[in-house]
Amino acid sequence: MSDRWSRLLGVLKAFSQGFRERAVDTIEKELSEMEGSFALLLYSSLVGLPSPPPLVGLSLLPYMEREISIMLAKSRHLDDIWALWADLADL
């Protein structure tokens, strides 16, 4: 009888661990999306959207150092042939 309980407890612990890992993955994805939205909000003038007042952007600049370095690293390795053709076609 105790063998069944120990197996059931092991299965429940495995489910619990899986749910925790999935929850952490979801939170990390949400954090990444929020950081991207925050960077877009602050530097939206680069893509043609209205930007916040300059004083707000400059005061938040020290907190954006990591996001800016990530954005620059992604843009260096960007290889989008469709964007190149769209640029050539003036779309």
Q: Which residue ranges make up each domain of the chain?
A: 2-88
Q: What is the pLDDT, as a whole number, of residue 87?
A: 67
Q: What share of the chain is helix, strand, coil (3-state, %, to 5)?
A: 85, 0, 15
Q: What is the pLDDT, as a whole number, of residue 64?
A: 77
Q: Which of 26-35, 50-59, 61-70, 80-89 has the lowest mean pLDDT?
A: 80-89
What is the rounded average pLDDT of the residues 57-85? Answer: 74
The string of pLDDT tens digits covering residues 1-58 is 678 888 888 888 888 888 888 888 888 888 888 877 777 777 776 777 777 777 877 7
**pTM, two decimal places:** 0.44
In the 8-state DSSP scheme, what is residue 51?
-
CA distance 75 to 78: 5
